[in-house]
Amino acid sequence: MPQSITLTKGTKEIVPFDVVDQTGNVTDLSSKSPKYYFIDAAGTNIYNGTSTTAVLMRVSCLLDCSAAGPNGLLAEGRYRLFVSFTNGTETPKLGPVYVDIVES
């Protein structure tokens, strides 16, 4: 079963995204320009996030579900979170982690 995280509507929170390199070649994503994509159930890209940091293989994604967020107050529902980074000529897109936004 895919990972799922629940956030309360109107909040701004950091969501951790752990990456595992099956080849063992990448051990630290901090210099790999990590970013994230937040996509709704219809497949619409809600926003591309550059508010990320990485420590070793954990990418921390700042998800803004508040009224002041990049797209205003997000509706309740299920969203998908993907992470991408650059590794030489590769730009993998990993995920999804499901994010459920609920009323407080």
Give the CATH number, domain containing residue 44: 2.60.40.1220
Domain that holds residue 63: 4-102
Task: Burial-class residue 89 by CB neighbours within 10 Å (0-12, 13-18, 19+).
Answer: exposed
Whole-model pTM: value is: 0.84
For residue 8, is pLDDT > 80? Answer: yes
Each residue's pLDDT tens digit, 61-97:
988 887 666 666 778 889 999 999 988 898 899 999 9
The residue to which tokens 């982690």 are assigned: 97
Q: State both tokens at 32.
A: 């790999």
Q: 70 preceded by cis ω (within 30°)?
A: no
Number of domains in the chain: 1
Mean pLDDT computed over every residue of the chain: 85
For residue 17, is pLDDT > 70? Answer: yes
